[in-house]
Amino acid sequence: MTETTNTNKIEFVNLKISEIAPNPEQPRKFFSEEAQEELTNSIKANGLLQPVVVRPVDGAKAPYMLIAGERRWRSCQAAGLEVIPAKLVEGATEEEAYVLSIAENVNRADMTIMEEAGAYADLKAAGWEPAKIAKQFGKTETHITWRLGLLTLRPEVSEMVDQGAIKSNLAWHIAQLSPSNQMVAAMRYVRGDFDSESDAQHFANGLKMMESQTSLTNEKAPTVEEKEKQKKAKAKTNDRLGKVEEDLIPLLEELVGMKPEDLAVILGDDLPRNLRVVTRLHAKVQLAKNLLSKAQGIQRAKEEAFAKAAVEVQLEAAKKADTKKPEAAKPEAAKPAAKPAPRARAAAKAGPTAKPAAKPTESAKPAVRRAPAKKADAAAK
């Protein structure tokens, strides 16, 4: 069977697996082993139901290169098939073949987010605008822009995204940060520091806010008037939120404990009005929750930034202290030993058995001088 689309001729043929080579520019790099094994078992039982897509190549080892269906091609090899059905596209340019391969994979669950982003980036590098890419693959322009925005992620965070530890929306917010803050936001989210993905996004946005400031440590201290104003605002807000906790929450808890049929009787004609009131309240609560969550993100980001600044100050102080330390006194060079006297040399030659003369101790008494013999006789007479 032969078809013609635009300038490309399409033909359905049977090809030897050995005649087909995978595309080195394949946008999808990750293949699930479990899913691959399932497909292999299915092919063993039912054969290949959907043909692979190939194009002819000149001067290559294999005369055909895959455009789409590498996973099927791998499973056919594992299943021991020698010949498989193929859709042969003749006249396709490198760019057209690449677009076809992206179209084949872009909506598959096993194509990772970062692989998808990389595929769009290749097309952008070839001159495609995000709007054109979006139209080609049935996506919104925002979707394409956000995927392209993930390419600034550092490799460790990209891996977390590919493994599903971080979802695409949060990943985009993290991608807007400096590499060091990317790791801070990613690790804190992965270890469970936030109640929700939304809280993590607000934290990342808070870090971005901190990055845009020139210096946190150089901020001016508030004046006495500003401090007093902040104190009054805090007391007022806490008082109002306290009333919500004391009055409104118990009322709502009592309300949700009632049965719908009882409320229908109790409220009667006032039911629609009360429903509108609670609906408005729900909307305002959602807005207030989002606002407080953003505030908490900024607060956490400030704490993180100040902690980092404090560590930097400590390191700087330690460096300065090291430079001010006086140099340790150098040990004096050992003086050469005095040359032994001639007698000492002789004693040394005599060997270890020669003992030096014993020195008189301090307690030893001096020897008594003997008187001359004549004087001693005279004294005796």
Please state, in angstroms and rounded to a whole number, the distance separating the CA atoms of residues 190 and 200. 10
**356: which residues sit within 8 A by CB, 6+ positions away?**
347
- Count CB-CB contacts under 10 A for residue 121: 17
Long-range contacts of 32-36 (CB under 8 A, 24+ apart): 32/110, 35/71, 35/110, 36/71, 36/74, 36/75, 36/78
Please state, in angstroms and rounded to a whole number, the distance separating the CA atoms of residues 360 and 370. 21
Please state, in angstroms and rounded to a whole number, the distance separating the CA atoms of residues 249 and 244. 6
| Alpha helices (H) along 47-112 | 70-79, 94-105
**DSSP string of 178-198?**
-HHHHHHHHHHHHTT-SSSHH
Q: Checking phi first, is residue 23 left (phi over 0); if not, alpha (psi -120 to 50) or beta?
A: beta
**Catalytic residue positions?**
70
Please state, in angstroms and rounded to a whole number, the distance separating the CA atoms of residues 283 and 161. 32
Please state, in angstroms and rounded to a whole number, the distance separating the CA atoms of residues 185 and 158. 13
Place of tokens 């495609």: 128
Please calculate the CA angle 177-183-185 and round it to the nearest 5 degrees.
Answer: 70
Are 115 and 47 contacting, i.e. CB atoms less than 8 angstroms apart?
A: no
Q: In the chain, how many H helices and how many E strands?
A: 16, 6
Phi, psi of 29 (to 5 degrees): -110, -25
Instruction: Enter the tokens of residue 148.
Output: 């392209």
Please state, in angstroms and rounded to a whole number, the distance separating the CA atoms of residues 143 and 137. 11
